[in-house]
């Protein structure tokens, strides 16, 4: 088996396990949400959702050390610098622990102000909210250590083992509070369950990482190795914050220029289309360490992994985008009723096109991160903010919320094209793979535009099938001969296993 075929096998396996690790707990969360809402009551359920958001915000405060560790450790593994990689891990864990201790202290002291003023929690719930949030604030080091340990496992391609930990622990994130509230009606108790889940994840990740990094590298600490991680991670964090600001800016502009009703008709379709991101995120978590470990010593393998990842994201995300664009009204009516469908279907049709470009853009963005050039991504996103925020204001005035959706879709298309060009310029071996992805990308784009036309439902259904068939054929042609043979070999093995 060639190195490219082996890399393709690791890529497919990692993507499948990452998708399972995210998708299965999500299904359970959707099923248990009504139960938790009933047990907690509306106001405490609001506190619970804020607590989950706080856990997500913790990730910003590691200054990108977790993702930077994945990239830098994978690069050292690919170059054969194993012992230096061990020192890097130990140094990163020390830095993350120090940063997270400061974060925990600041949050602990700020909780009373946050509960009493910023969040405007009702007086009857303030003591309970302060106690619960302080439990969670004390767990900040656990959350940030988990991100760093995940980086170690990802660099060693331990996605199967890591997600076998993630699936049950993330399931307990919802099952645990449901069971606890049956015997102890306490918001602080619910927070203790969440912290217990995170601590269990820390122990499991550390036990898995010990197999690849003896002693987690703590006996080989060289803090100078952590300085490049902070610099690289800082650029990643800046890019993430800027991208998140762009993502949510449209809602605030709509609220300021139109009305809260318009915000609801826009934000609801947006929340729906962003669910498609589960596909590129599952792929990118595998792409970054795979490319980082190969781009210097095995450029052909790195280019092959990028090509397969790009084409995989394109093909896997296309059916969902076709459905969102062609059946926008039906989806919203089935989910939330005819009134929301009438108000938001036009927005959903446009966003369904834009999210396709947003998904594919993850691939060249992962290349820039993997080769250590997140500064290029950050500069490009800053340019987007300068151009597209005024454009969104102009289109909002001209076309209402559909204008905001058009601006968002145009930005996603520019983001995808720009990152592809920048990735090819910063890493020449990737240029061929980017060119190979152009024909299926063009066909998919034209197909999505056609799906937004006012055609009959049977025509749209037939058109969607045709688009998927054409794009699949173009994706197959874009693969290298060795990659096609590797895929056929895997399919033959699956068929043989089923026959047996």
3-class secondary structure, 456: coil
Phi, psi of 37, rounded to the nearest 5 degrees: -60, -40
CA distance 350 to 219: 54
Side-chain-side CA neighbours of 355 within 13 Å: the count stands at: 28
CA distance 355 to 361: 10
Q: What pLDDT was estimated at residue 446?
A: 94
Q: Average pLDDT in the 221-243 region?
A: 74
Q: How many CB atoms lie within 10 A of CB 361?
A: 23
Tell me: pLDDT of 4 over 60: no
Q: What pLDDT was estimated at residue 494?
A: 59
CA distance 399 to 390: 14
Q: What pLDDT was estimated at residue 75?
A: 81
Q: What pLDDT was estimated at residue 2?
A: 52
For the entire predicted model, the pTM comes to 0.74
Q: Which residue has tokens 């197959």? A: 476
Q: What pLDDT was estimated at residue 450?
A: 92
Assign 193 a pLDDT band (cuts: 50, 70, 90).
Answer: very high
3-class secondary structure, 64: coil
DSSP calls for 60-88: GGGTTHHHHHHHHHHHHHHTT-HHHHHHH
Q: Average pLDDT in the 247-261 region?
A: 75
Arithmetic mean of pLDDT over the chain: 84
- The two three-digit tokens of residue 93, written as one number: 């864990």
440 touches 471 (CB < 8 A): yes
Q: What pLDDT was estimated at residue 200?
A: 93
Structure confidence by residue, pLDDT tens digits, 95-129: 888 888 888 898 899 888 888 776 667 788 888 88
Assign 468 a pLDDT band (cuts: 50, 70, 90).
Answer: very high
The length of the chain, given as a count of residues = 500
Q: Which residue has the higher pLDDT, 367 or 22?
A: 367
Q: What pLDDT was estimated at residue 1?
A: 47
Structure confidence by residue, pLDDT tens digits, 347-376: 999 999 999 999 999 999 989 888 888 888
From residue 270, give the alpha-carbon distance in Å to each of 266, 352, 397, 487.
Answer: 6, 9, 19, 35
Q: Average pLDDT in the 470-489 region?
A: 84
Q: What pLDDT was estimated at residue 180?
A: 92
Range among 38-52, 406-420, 423-437 with highest mean pLDDT value? 406-420
CA distance 376 to 357: 19
CA distance 227 to 133: 32
Q: What pLDDT was estimated at residue 3?
A: 53
CB within 8 A of 23, min separation 6: which ones? 278
Candidate from 32-41, 193-202, 277-286, 428-437 with smallest mean pLDDT: 32-41
Q: Which residue has the higher pLDDT, 52 or 86?
A: 86
Tell me: pLDDT of 207 over 90: yes
Determine whether 138 is exposed, middle or buried from the number of CB atoms within 10 Å of its CB (0-12, 13-18, 19+): middle
Q: What pLDDT was estimated at residue 63?
A: 64
Structure confidence by residue, pLDDT tens digits, 51-62: 776 776 666 666
Q: Which residue has the higher pLDDT, 207 or 301?
A: 207
- The two three-digit tokens of residue 341, written as one number: 């469908």
Determine whether 333 is exposed, middle or buried from the number of CB atoms within 10 Å of its CB (0-12, 13-18, 19+): middle
Determine whether 393 is exposed, middle or buried from the number of CB atoms within 10 Å of its CB (0-12, 13-18, 19+): middle
346 touches 267 (CB < 8 A): no
What is the maximal distance between C-alpha atoms in the chain? 67
CA distance 447 to 226: 47
Q: Average pLDDT in the 387-407 region?
A: 90
DSSP calls for 264-314: HHHHHHHHHHGGGGHHHHHHHHHHHHHHHTTTTT-HHHHHHHHHHHHHHHH
CA distance 178 to 414: 44
Q: What pLDDT was estimated at residue 57?
A: 65
CB within 8 A of 268, min separation 6: which ones? 332, 336, 340, 344
Candidate from 78-92, 195-209, 424-438 with smallest mean pLDDT: 78-92
Q: What pLDDT was estimated at residue 441?
A: 93
Tell me: pLDDT of 319 over 90: yes
Q: Residue 371 gets which letter from DSSP? A: T
Helices (H), ranges, 114-215: 123-138, 140-155, 159-183, 187-210
């Amino acid at each position: 088996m060639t190195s490219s075929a082996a890399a393709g096998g690791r890529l497919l396996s990692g993507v499948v396990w990452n998708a399972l690790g995210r998708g299965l707990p999500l299904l359970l969360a959707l099923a248990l949400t009504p139960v938790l809402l009933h047990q907690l009551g509306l106001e405490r359920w609001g506190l619970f959702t804020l607590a989950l958001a706080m856990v997500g915000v913790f990730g910003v405060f590691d200054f990108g050390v977790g993702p930077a560790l994945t990239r830098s450790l994978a690069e050292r593994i690919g170059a054969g610098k194993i012992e230096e990689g061990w020192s890097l891990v130990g140094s990163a864990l020390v830095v993350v622990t120090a940063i997270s201790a400061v974060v925990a202290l600041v949050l602990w002291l700020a909780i009373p102000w946050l509960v009493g003023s910023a969040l405007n929690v009702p007086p009857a719930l303030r003591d309970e909210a302060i106690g619960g949030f302080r439990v969670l604030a004390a767990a900040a080091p656990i959350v940030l250590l988990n991100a760093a340990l995940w980086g170690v496992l990802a660099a060693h391609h331990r996605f199967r083992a890591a997600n076998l930990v993630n699936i049950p622990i993330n399931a307990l994130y919802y099952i645990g509070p449901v069971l606890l509230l049956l015997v102890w009606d306490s918001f602080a108790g619910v927070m203790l369950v969440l912290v217990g889940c995170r601590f269990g994840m820390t122990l499991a990740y550390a036990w898995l990482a010990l197999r690849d990094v003896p002693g987690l590298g703590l006996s080989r600490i060289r803090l100078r190795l952590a300085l490049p991680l902070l610099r690289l991670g800082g650029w990643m964090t800046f890019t993430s914050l800027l991208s998140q600001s762009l993502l949510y800016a449209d809602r605030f502009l709509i609220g300021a220029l139109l009305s809260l009703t318009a915000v609801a008709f826009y934000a609801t379709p947006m929340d729906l289309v962003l669910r498609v991101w589960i596909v590129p995120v599952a792929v990118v978590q595998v792409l970054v360490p795979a490319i980082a470990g190969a781009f210097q010593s095995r450029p052909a393998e790195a280019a092959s992994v990028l090509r397969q990842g790009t084409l995989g994201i394109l093909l896997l995300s296309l059916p969902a985008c076709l459905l969102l664009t062609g059946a926008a009204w039906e989806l919203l009516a089935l989910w939330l009723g005819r009134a929301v469908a009438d108000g938001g279907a036009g927005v959903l049709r446009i966003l369904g096109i834009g999210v396709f470009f947003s998904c594919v853009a993850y691939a060249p963005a992962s290349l820039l991160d993997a080769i250590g050039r997140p500064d290029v991504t950050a500069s490009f996103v800053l340019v987007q903010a300068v151009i597209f925020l005024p454009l969104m204001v102009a289109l909002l005035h001209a076309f209402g919320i559909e204008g905001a959706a058009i601006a968002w879709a145009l930005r996603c298309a520019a983001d995808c094209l720009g990152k592809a060009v920048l990735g090819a310029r910063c890493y020449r071996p990737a240029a061929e793979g980017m060119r190979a992805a152009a024909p299926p990308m063009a066909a998919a784009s034209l197909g999505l535009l056609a799906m937004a036309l006012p055609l009959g439902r049977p025509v749209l259904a037939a058109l969607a099938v045709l688009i998927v068939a054409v794009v699949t054929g173009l994706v197959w042609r874009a693969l290298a001969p060795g990659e096609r043979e590797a895929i056929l070999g895997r399919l033959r093995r699956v068929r043989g296993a089923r026959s047996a």
